[in-house]
Structure 1
Amino acid sequence: MDIKSCELMARHTFTRTGGAADLFVQPTTFEEVQQIVTAAKQLHLPITTLGYGTNVIVRDSGIRGIVMNMNKLDHIQVDNTIITAQSGASIIQVSRLARDHHLSGLEFACGIPGSVGGALMMNAGAYGGEVSFVLKEATVLDSSGQLLVLDHTQFNFSYRSSIFEQQHYTVLEAVFELQKAELTAIQSKMDENTMLREQKQPLEYPSCGSVFKRPPNMFAGKLISDSGLMGTRIGGAEVSTKHAGFIVNVDQATSTDYLQLIEHVKQTVWNNYQVRLETEVKIIGDLRDDSLQQ
């Protein structure tokens, strides 16, 4: 188990922003995860679980208590049509391994730059697929450190939400049930998804991915674009000129830059269309030093 104090979260987020965590811990076994969760409860310390940091903004004031990073728990196993992956494994790597074993169902994930645990939390999806379609079973810890094994009747999936997020579970392992298919068909779908992603998304800059949830029967990106906000900057954060649903770090942005720009976008869209945009990205960390009280 690796333990660091005052670890800068900008080193662990895709936006390349975020203040320091009091304690930054990287467990290497499920037993160590259980020990950390149990100790945090006994010591009354808040605990934040982090994967690849792709869909989060950590406030500049950092995170109090313990940040538990799961990236060293990354084992993946294939058994016939079943893939079992630890929570710190890359969901992209899982999708590629599925392809290599002629298994279909995870093609949508070939370009999602996050961990398995994060994908379960957010019911990650793209291009017509999502985690809820293929997840069979999950092993988690509850906030007291108790081990639970959940099946598909308990996941409570909805758009960018799940029982794992709602109950603040720590995901240890996921079991995906896939289907045999022709390799050429799987690769063709992944190639198509990759092409669409590269054409539409500003992959050349650090970002947290899609910032806002899709409003009912609308697209957040179109509302933002139609509001004339593409290219709008606050500090080093900019509404992407390639995809209005993304905010990119173009010049040493801070998390406060991001948060102020998010609020500006939300207010402008509300003023123009009376639509309240909700953030898909998770905003975490201590409020004490921020100019914005989220």
Structure 2
Amino acid sequence: MTKQKWAQELRQLLPEERILMDEPLSLHTMTKMGGPADIFASPTNEDETAAVVKHAYEHKIPLLLLGNGSNMVVRDGGVRGIVLNLKELVDIRMEGTRLYAQGGADIKAVSRLAAGSGMTGFEFACGIPGSVGGAMAMNAGAYGGEIKDIIVHATVLTKQGEKLVLSKDELELGYRKSIITKQGFYVLSAEFELEAGDQALIDAKMSDLTYQRESKQPLEFPSAGSVFKRPPGNFAGKLIQESGMQGRGFGGAEVSTKHAGFIVNKNNATANDYIQTIEMVKRAVFEKFGIDLELEVKIVGEDAVQ
């Protein structure tokens, strides 16, 4: 089946303007890199999302979920099949001490809503780049907090397009992992339990964490965020820095001189530049410390045809 046929069939499930062909994924990733998607689908609600997932499964069409494009490197050849984007599923609301957020919502916006409502518990996420779905999948955390501390349950889609509601225990949240990544589920929404707090203290904490992030992270350049997971008993950034990798890279990609845990797109880098820089860093750290750094970012897609 051709991508033209895929697009024709998907336009029976979604509004026509929500199905794009050969869409450059560099427009949708935080690295500003990545080749085209055969089909780029952006449903307007949860039922349409389920319909796309079910259709892809039944017709054996490859399906990749793309949140807000953080924590991901898309190769220069792009992605075959369907790229599913949930940028329209962004509803956020407070109901008492419960916070409800759809999977496509910006996790930073969720943190700000909680803080503005006088609720404490979500401040740690005020600087995390990514969507609620991505944060759930990776059990995102920072500054002593993580998703598993506040989650009540999440509504997900299976690969077959069936809805499931998973409790905190059923989500199997660990360090940068969950049942979501293990089973390939798609997050539709999540519900969190917060506590009423002192507004002045909440505001002060939000300001402090925002300052820490802005002063220490290379936000002036596109990047995928923290590239590597934290090795047991150590820090990836520290190991990379002590391996002399800061400022080094391939093409337009460079290990940040501000925070060694980041690789930035400094000058129109290709995904190949970025990936070569990742491999260089891994080799340097292994040669110096005998530690094999594990990727936190996800690398997807195909290499460009030479």
**Which runs of structure 2 are paired with 1:135-146 in the superposition (5 Å)?**
135-146=151-162
- State how far apart, in whole Å, the 1-side matches of 2:79 and 2:265 are: 21
Q: Residue deviations 1:107-150, cap 9 Å, x none?
A: 01111121111110111111001111111010001001111001
What is the identity, as a one-letter code, of the residue corresponding to 1:158? G
Q: Percent identity?
A: 50
**Which runs of structure 2 are paired with 1:117-266 in the superposition (5 Å)?**
117-266=133-282
Given the alignment of the two structures, is residue 15 of structure 1 paired with residue 36 of structure 2, yes or no?
no
What is the identity, as a one-letter code, of the residue corresponding to 1:71? K
Deviation, 1:289, is: 4.1
What is the identity, as a one-letter code, of the residue corresponding to 1:182? D
Residue among 78, 81, 100 paired with 2:97: 81
Residue among 77, 81, 84 paired with 1:65: 81
Deviation, 1:287, is: 4.7
SS in 2 for 1:99: helix
- State how far apart, in whole Å, the 1-side matches of 2:57 and 2:226 are: 33
Deviation, 1:233, is: 2.0
Give the equivalent residue in structure 2 for 1:41: 57
Give the equivalent residue in structure 1 for 2:113: 97
Deviation, 1:286, is: 2.3
Paired residues in the alignment total 290
What is the identity, as a one-letter code, of the residue corresponding to 2:135? A
Runs (5+) with no aligned partner, structure 2 = 1-14
SS in 2 for 1:189: helix
- State how far apart, in whole Å, the 2-side matches of 1:143 and 1:288 are: 28
SS in 2 for 1:68: strand
Q: Residue deviations 1:45-94, cap 9 Å, x none?
A: 01011110011000111111000000110011210000110001111111
- State how far apart, in whole Å, the 2-side matches of 1:96 and 1:223 are: 33
- State how far apart, in whole Å, the 1-side matches of 2:60 and 2:171 are: 28
Runs (5+) with no aligned partner, structure 1 = none
- State how far apart, in whole Å, the 2-side matches of 1:46 and 1:287 are: 17
- State how far apart, in whole Å, the 2-side matches of 1:187 and 1:282 are: 33
SS in 2 for 1:154: coil
Deviation, 1:198, is: 1.0
- State how far apart, in whole Å, the 1-side matches of 2:304 and 2:221 are: 29
Given the alignment of the two structures, is residue 273 of structure 1 paired with residue 251 of structure 2, yes or no?
no
Deviation, 1:199, is: 1.2
**Is the Cα contact below 8 Å between 2:86 and 2:104 reproduced in 1?**
yes
Given the alignment of the two structures, is residue 31 of structure 1 paired with residue 43 of structure 2, yes or no?
no
SS in 2 for 1:136: strand
- Alpha-carbon RMSD across the aligned residues, in angstroms, is 1.0
Using the size of structure 1 for normalisation, the TM-score is: 0.97
What is the identity, as a one-letter code, of the residue corresponding to 2:162? Q
What is the identity, as a one-letter code, of the residue corresponding to 2:130? G
